[in-house]
Amino acid sequence: MTNIVLFGKPGAGKGTQAEILKVMYNLKHISTGDLFRFHKSNNTELGQLAKSYEEEGKLVPDDVTIKMLQEEVERNPDAKGFLLDGFPRTIAQAEALDAFLESKGWKVDATIALEANDEILVQRLLERGKTSGRPDDQDEEKIRTRYREYNDKTAPLMDYYKAQHKFYSVDGIGEISDITARISAVIDALN
């Protein structure tokens, strides 16, 4: 069982890399963004809550996100491991994830952060917003609000995972294949 957390600011390329890595390493990809979209499109109670926060450019509260993640893990009991994209985003979520995985005899093996300049990421999201239909990708101020929340709530995760010797920083700028190679070097060194 290999469990990897991919994190980085919105637009850093987590989803793109996860699609490649899940095949390379036979992992079940769980994207909180995909979970949110699933729950919102199916108008679940959790989806309605997530939508109300996202429309304000805010992060979804921990308890909502954790419930979505736990449901998804439980739906995949035969997975060889999980590639988490966009979760955890806070220390509270990381602690809840650790407790949940520990209850199953599992752990987070590595947290890989895709690093990129904010200005590059803002432009990526504005471009993505032209085709994604996501309102949170079409408004520069909402994007910057998401980055402020990321810096306030998510950046402390670096210290949390560094203390466990599970944090790895990877340059998220460049050709997709080059970024994949940088991430793969980290994952391959785990075994």
Active site residues: 14, 89, 128, 134, 146
**16 assigned ligand-binding residue:** yes
**142 assigned ligand-binding residue:** no
**124 assigned ligand-binding residue:** no
**134 assigned ligand-binding residue:** yes
**58 assigned ligand-binding residue:** yes
- Amino acid at residue number 83: L
**131 assigned ligand-binding residue:** no
**80 assigned ligand-binding residue:** no
**93 assigned ligand-binding residue:** yes
Q: Which of 166, 145, 183, 1 is nearest to 94 (CA)?
A: 166
Binding-site sequence positions for AMP: 32, 37, 58-60, 86-89, 93, 134, 146
Binding-site sequence positions: 11-16, 32, 37, 58-60, 86-89, 93, 128, 134, 146, 174
Binding-site sequence positions for ATP: 11-16, 128, 174
